[in-house]
A and B are shown apart, each in its own frame.
Chain A
Amino acid sequence: MSLVHLANVCSHLQNASKARLGLTSIPSTNQLLTLSLALQSAGFLSSVTRAGLTPPPLNTNTIYEPEPVTQDNVATRRLWLGLKYWDNRAVLSEMSMVSKPTKRVWMDVESLGRIVRGREAGFVRGLTRPGECLFVSTDRGVMEARECVERRVGGMLLCRVL
């Protein structure tokens, strides 16, 4: 699994929230989909919808039924993400890679625990800023680092989000 798409998505989401967009789209891949859902459950995104090259109709997120993905339309699928703003600030304001395409970083639970407590571990800075999150790709899906520690699983560090 390449991390190049993820790198682009990190930059794109930062740019989109600086531009105050309400809805934006990223490539539809399984890795990005699971990451988006993790971001949504952490409260960074308001919606995650798979649709074509045009956005899904507005205000239909709850009743919208996406087209099934077939071999014909798979190339045109995009993930449409709803961005959130609170108190005149973007909820997701910073998003940066930890693993790079040329250098992946894996981490066990003990080191993740240190990071979650704000300590440095294995050249990865701790989560010291209020509300900072680290997303980890594990064999049980993409999870927030704190959840990883709770469930005692390690994995590959994807990105830190603030």
Chain B
Amino acid sequence: MGLVSKPPARDLFKRYDDEEKAALAKRYTPAQMEAIEAAEEAIDPDDLNERGVLRSDWGSLNYLDDFSQMQPTIDKKIKREGPVDPEERLMTPEEYAQHHKDYFMKIMEENDVPMEYDNEDKPLNADIVRPNRLDMLKSWDEVPDTIGSNGPLKSESMLAPGIPRDFESAVEDPESAKKSEEDEDPRDPDGRYDLLIKQTGLDLNTIMSYQVKILVQHRVVNQTRLGKIASVYCLAIAGNRNGRLGLGQAKGQESEDVFSNARIQAIRNMQPIPRYEERTIFGEVEGKVSAAEVKLMSRPPGFGLRCQHLIFEMARAAGIQDLAARVPRSRNKMNTIKATYEALMKQRIPDEIARGRGKKLVDVRKVYYGGRV
């Protein structure tokens, strides 16, 4: 991507050549041309180059738009090149059906029934007898849908010109997909993650790449009139090491099931956590659950994770690299973890605070180093 590895500034932002100047001179008066040239001179290309930085701060959009596809709900309809035809109208359903019929008849005449045609084998016939499903999809792209003064017209596709229409993959055999599903993955032989995969749409590679860890496990007892019923309690954390963290709790009789349930709950509960510069937190935050109080403090780059083991694990799973923490009161493991999670989630973002107060806020670290921090 051209924005990351940068060629010299002058190559990117060229001066107007004589041809372009002549073209501009046709449109603008000499005084305006002078102003344009003065303005061109006034802007330093190095400066322009520095500012074309991919933003990663809180005000940036969470996607990179590549503009290779038109989105019908957002983008304007593309206009056809050339003059507008005032007579142009949408086809009536009958006309449209007629055009489709002609299209298919033409394909049918051009492609005879092949030799290997078998009356019995229905799935095979679906593909070898033309028109097949592929022709059906292509027809949407090729059969005209409006009528102008000089006959039928095809309205512009929402796909940008030059984008290959990948119809072959759309009609790909679903049977091969079915087979791969049935294969048992050695990383998850018992299929513990199957339901999670089905419900969340994650794949096993992603799930395995998460850092999942059981931090608390102990026996709990329910006293009934029939006696004590013991079960296992478990608290797990899951993080993608890049700003998402979740807690999962489970309780039950069989410890294996309990652990895997807790892990799955943790993955399911993963939430994005605000991070400053993707390495530390915003200022100082406090969390409190029951008597366990946790105070997390942001620290400069290279400080490391100087905090107790539970908070260390959580910070590592969330992808926080610089953090200090105090746990001044109760150090109950379960409540410490919950309080840490609460503290991480309730961080106040400086940009939001500034907007609430009606102030303008600029992070000077992003200005001093050319936005490269």
Q: Which residues of A contact B (CB under 8 A)?
A: 42-44, 84, 86-87, 89, 91, 128-131
Contacts and interface: CB of A to CB of B under 8 A. Distances in A.
Interface string B332-363: 00000000000000011110111111110000
A124 B352 CA distance: 27
Interface in B9-35: none
Interface residues of B, number: 17
B58 to A, nearest CB: 12
B357 A44 contact: yes
Contacts of B353: 130-131
A44 B349 CA distance: 16
A131 B297 contact: no
Contact of A129 (B284, B349, B357, B359): B284
Contacts, number: 35
Contacts of B352: 86-87
Nearest to A130: B283
B104 interface: no
A130 B357 contact: no
Task: Classify the secondary structure of A's interface with B.
Answer: loop
A43 B358 contact: yes
A128 B356 contact: no
Give the most central of A42, A89, A130: most B CB within 10 Å: A130
B355 A86 contact: yes
B193 interface: no
Contacts of A89: 356
A3 B284 CA distance: 29
Contacts of B347: 130
A86 B356 contact: yes
A43 B357 contact: yes
9 closest cross-chain pairs (CB), A and B? A43-B357, A86-B356, A130-B283, A131-B353, A128-B284, A91-B356, A43-B358, A129-B284, A130-B350
